[in-house]
Amino acid sequence: MKTQPVLGIDIGGSGIKGAPVDLKAGDFAADRLRIPTPAKSTPAKVAAVVARIVEHFADQIGDGPIGVTIPSVVTHGITRSAANIDPSWIDAPAEQILSEHLGRTVVLVNDADAAGVAEVRYGAAKGHPGLVLMTTLGTGIGSALIYHGVLIPNTELGHLEIDGHDAETQASAGVRTKLGLTYEEYIPRLQRYYERVEALFWPDLFVVGGGISKNAGQYLPYLRLHTPIIPAELKNRAGIIGAAALAAEASAS
C-alpha cells in the first residue's frame, strides 16, 4: 500500500511555495506550486494563499496534516519574530490561525529548522549519528541544531554577537552581495563566524545551505575548522520536505 504524501509549505518574503512530499523517498511527489507572497503579508492574507495551495493538492494529500515553515521563531505555535514578513506576525497564534482557516492540522516550524531536519533525514547529513549544526546563508543567517536526529528548535545562531556585531550583519550572503565582496574577501568573515560557533557548540558536522551553497567549492575548502563542513544537498526543496516530515511525525505522536 502506497503511503499518502504529506503537504509541505514554505512561507517566504517573496513567495509561498508548496508541494506534496513522499516521505519514503524524501522528495516531492508532484511539481511545486509557487504563489507570490501578498504585499501586505499579514497572517490572514498569507493564510488565504496557503489555502489556495492546499486546495491545489487536495486530491493528493487527503485530510492529512500540513507542515508549514515560516521565517520566524516559533514557540508552541506562536510566531515570536518576523523576518521579511509583516510585523503583525510577532506574538500571533499563527499555527492556530492557519489551522482554523484551513480546517486541518497544521504544524508550524521555523524555516531553517525545517531545512535542517530535511538535510539530516534525507540530504547531506543523512544517517549522521551525532550533533549536526546547519546554517543557511541568505539575507541573514538561519540555523538548525539536530542531535541524534532530534531537532533542538529556534537556535537563531545568526544573531550571536561576535566582535561586537550581530553575526549575520557581517557574514551573511546578503552582506557579501551588498558590499560586493569576492569570495576571497568573504572567506575571513565566514572563518570568524564558524570558528566562534564551533567554539560554543562543538558540533560533529556543519552543513551549509542557502543559495550560496551551490558555490561551496569557492569558500568551504578554505575554512580552517576542527569540524567537517559540507554543503547542503536539497537546495530550495529542504524547507518543504522538512516541514512535511515534522508534520507527519507530530500527527503520529
In a domain? residue 197: yes
CA distance linking residue 112 with residue 69, whole number of Å: 8
The model's pTM is 0.95
pLDDT tens profile 116-128: 999 999 999 999 9
Nearest to 15 by CA among 71, 97, 76, 79: 71
pLDDT tens profile 186-199: 999 999 999 999 99
In a domain? residue 117: no
- Same domain membership, residue 82 and residue 64: yes
- Same domain membership, residue 137 and residue 91: no
- Same domain membership, residue 210 and residue 128: yes
**Domains contained in the chain, number:** 2
pLDDT of the residue at 2: 59
pLDDT tens profile 143-193: 999 999 999 999 999 999 999 999 999 999 999 999 999 999 999 999 999
- Same domain membership, residue 219 and residue 128: yes
- Same domain membership, residue 130 and residue 98: no
- Same domain membership, residue 86 and residue 133: no
> Residues 86, 218: contact at Cβ < 8 Å?
no
Nearest to 162 by CA among 199, 120, 113, 216: 199
Q: The domain spanning residue 48 has which CATH number?
A: 3.30.420.40
CA distance linking residue 32 with residue 214, whole number of Å: 20
- For the chain, report the end-to-end CA distance as a whole number of angstroms: 21
79, β-bridge pairs: 74, 92
In a domain? residue 218: yes
pLDDT band at 252 (very low <50, low <70, confident <90, very high): confident
In a domain? residue 1: no
Grid cell digits, residue 117: 531536519
In a domain? residue 119: no
Q: Give start and end residues of each alpha helix (H) in 30-72.
A: 43-56, 58-61
CA distance linking residue 4 with residue 21, whole number of Å: 9
CA distance linking residue 46 with residue 183, whole number of Å: 36
Q: Say whether pLDDT at 217 is over 80.
A: yes
Range of the domain at 102: 6-111+237-252
In a domain? residue 22: yes
